[in-house]
Amino acid sequence: MLKQDLHIHTTYSTADSLIASEQTVALVTAVKHAEVVGISDHFESLTDGQFEIYEKEVRRAGLKVGVEVDGHAWVPEAEGYPVDYYIVHCRDITADYRGLEKLLGTGKPVIVAHPNALSTELNRVPAECLVEINNRYVYRTDWRRFYAPFTNRFKFILGSDAHQPNWLGQAVARYVALQLGVNNHLVF
């Protein structure tokens, strides 16, 4: 069993075509693949009253409540929601780096989501952020060249970025972390 997995999507991410209809909060809870599980559905799917329903179901299941924030445009709204942590898309634009700083101001953990897939310049990311290595995107770039210069600057968090039940796991992310000599930082 994994220690934690905080990057998991469910059917609450309604605009994401990769979400399997079976990927429900109940199924993720039943699988018990990690000691600490957090659901981090796409924030833009949770506005207009959906967040309250989402939060209630996730907390009732005994899971951590997160949201995946798609860049700076969503930060002003997201920072006011009662989440346990943020997973954030940070593209290489100044406004997204400022968005990270703004979310850090909430005092909640801020995880930079799959930075290698979004061309995030890690030298521009505040050192207080956690940097994610996840199964879904790590192999799409030269991960060694991308992450190695920053292994002493950041705490790293491993995630599955699961959109479907068979994606629950972190085998590739754990392999990359071992090769880089970094540990999975336990947030909770």
Cβ neighbours around 18 below 10 Å, total: 12
For the chain, what percent of residues have pLDDT higher than 70? Answer: 100
What pLDDT, on the 0 to 100 scale, is given for residue 31?
A: 96
Q: Is the pLDDT of residue 93 over 90?
A: yes
User: What is the pTM for the complete model shown?
Assistant: 0.97
Q: Let me know: does 122 contact 154? Beta carbons within 8 Å.
A: yes
User: What's residue 48's pLDDT?
Assistant: 86
Q: With 0-12 CB in 10 A as exposed, 13-18 as middle and 19+ as buried, what is 62?
A: exposed
pLDDT digits (tens, 9 = 90+) for 27-77: 999 999 999 999 999 999 999 899 999 999 999 999 999 999 999 999 999
pLDDT band at 116 (very low <50, low <70, confident <90, very high): very high
Residue found by looking up tokens 């930075």 in the block: 115
Task: State what percent of residues in the chain have pLDDT above 90.
Answer: 95
